[in-house]
Amino acid sequence: MTVNLSPSAILDVATELAERRINKTKGPSLPPELTPTGFSDAFAIARQVSAQYCQMASTQVIGWKCAMPNGAKTIIGHLFANEVQSAPKVPLIPTNGQALIEPELCFTLGQDLPPRKTPYSHEEIDTVIGSTRLALELIYSRYQAPAEQSFHSALADGLLNQGIWLGPDIIPAQDETYAEFDLTITTADAGKQVYQAKHQDGHARAGLYWLVNFLSRQGIGLSKGQHVITGSYAGVLALPFNQKVQFQYGSLGEFEVEFVESH
């Protein structure tokens, strides 16, 4: 991958974005001369953000968010150990007074997948998945005007990620693609809402297969215990704070959480 931004420019942008993440603040768009215009620059910034943030927050990379590349968009982002939650009360930073989440599945590795010259097969990757859990991606942008950002500016900042919430293991289904199901969300305010949940890649592990081999080509391995989320089943959903929210992922399982504001 050819990176066009200078190392000093990448460091400057990454330091700013890492500080926003650890301080839970928003900031302006990047200056035009520092704005990534392609995947290589955006991913280089994101990797440096990860290094800076891990140092600032005394944490480590605990996994990845990803999806199959789609045209000009390659979706990949770091997950951090200090931003993984599993308690029934889920703190997250509000956006316009609401909790933004994406319903997903999370694959947790039961063995290491070190980088190597030959690609991993789907079957090899399947065998190292230690568990598959119901999950939520927690959403927040560190830009003051997220809708105005280019895809690559968003990728440099982690693609709206502010952590993940891990729920129970799924109830295995006969169709292991986990491609679609009825997603039911129930709140006191809105009652029961049913979404025709469909995975954007048509297979919940498609992004994982791509991620393992993409990272391997970069000399990056995945480790036992790391988590991988692979895309939303219903886009970004806005939900209320301070009331019980019930999620039913079809026949795969259910859970209840309460979102509370984190500032």
pLDDT in tens, 214-258: 999 999 999 999 999 999 999 999 999 999 999 999 999 999 999
pLDDT at position 181 over 80? yes
Q: What is the mean pLDDT of residues 32-52?
A: 96
Instruction: Report percent pLDDT > 70 for the chain.
Output: 99
Q: What is the mean pLDDT of residues 144-148?
A: 94
Q: Output the pTM of the full model.
A: 0.96
Instruction: Answer yes or no: are the C-beta atoms of 248 and 238 closer than 8 Å.
Output: no
Here the CATH number for the domain that contains residue 256 is: 3.90.850.10
Q: Give the domain extent around 98.
A: 7-261
Instruction: Answer yes or no: are the C-beta atoms of 32 and 70 closer than 8 Å.
Output: no
Q: Is position 242 within any domain?
A: yes
Provide the domain count of the chain.
Answer: 1
Q: How far from the centroid of its chain's Cα atoms is residue 142's Cα? A: 15
Tell me the pLDDT of the chain averaged across its residues: 96
Q: What is the mean pLDDT of residues 94-104?
A: 97
pLDDT at position 121 over 70? yes
Instruction: Answer yes or no: are the C-beta atoms of 79 and 85 closer than 8 Å.
Output: no
pLDDT at position 164 over 70? yes
> How far is the CA of 53 from the CAs of 1, 11, 70, 157, 171, in angstroms?
23, 12, 28, 11, 35
Q: Is position 2 within any domain?
A: no
The angle at the Cα of 98, spanning 92 to 104, to the nearest 5 degrees, equals: 65
Cα torsion 223, 226, 232, 236: sign: negative
Q: What is the pLDDT of residue 72?
A: 80
Instruction: Answer yes or no: are the C-beta atoms of 240 and 99 closer than 8 Å.
Output: yes
Q: What is the mean pLDDT of residues 132-145?
A: 97
Q: Is position 34 within any domain?
A: yes
Edge to edge, the sheet with strand 89-92 lists 89-92, 254-261, 244-249, 180-187, 191-198
Q: What is the mean pLDDT of residues 152-171?
A: 97
Q: Is position 67 within any domain?
A: yes
Q: What is the mean pLDDT of residues 71-84?
A: 95
Q: Is position 1 within any domain?
A: no
Look at residues 114, 140, 125 and name the one whose alpha carbon lies nearest to residue 259. Answer: 140
Q: Is position 223 within any domain?
A: yes
Q: What is the pLDDT of residue 190?
A: 87
Specify the higher pLDDT residue, 2 or 130.
130
Q: Is position 110 within any domain?
A: yes
Q: Is position 169 within any domain?
A: yes
pLDDT at position 1 over 80? no
Q: What is the mean pLDDT of residues 5-24?
A: 95
Q: What is the mean pLDDT of residues 153-169?
A: 97
Look at residues 189, 179, 194, 175 and name the one whose alpha carbon lies nearest to residue 231. Answer: 179
99-109 and 227-229 strand pairing = antiparallel
Alpha-carbon span 124 to 171, nearest angstrom: 22
Q: What is the pLDDT of residue 203?
A: 96
61-66 and 227-229 strand pairing = parallel
pLDDT in tens, 183-201: 999 998 889 999 999 999 9
Residue 181 φ then ψ, to 5° = -170, 170
- Strands of 86-226 (E only): list them: 89-92, 99-109, 129-139, 161-169, 180-187, 191-198
Q: What is the mean pLDDT of residues 138-155?
A: 96
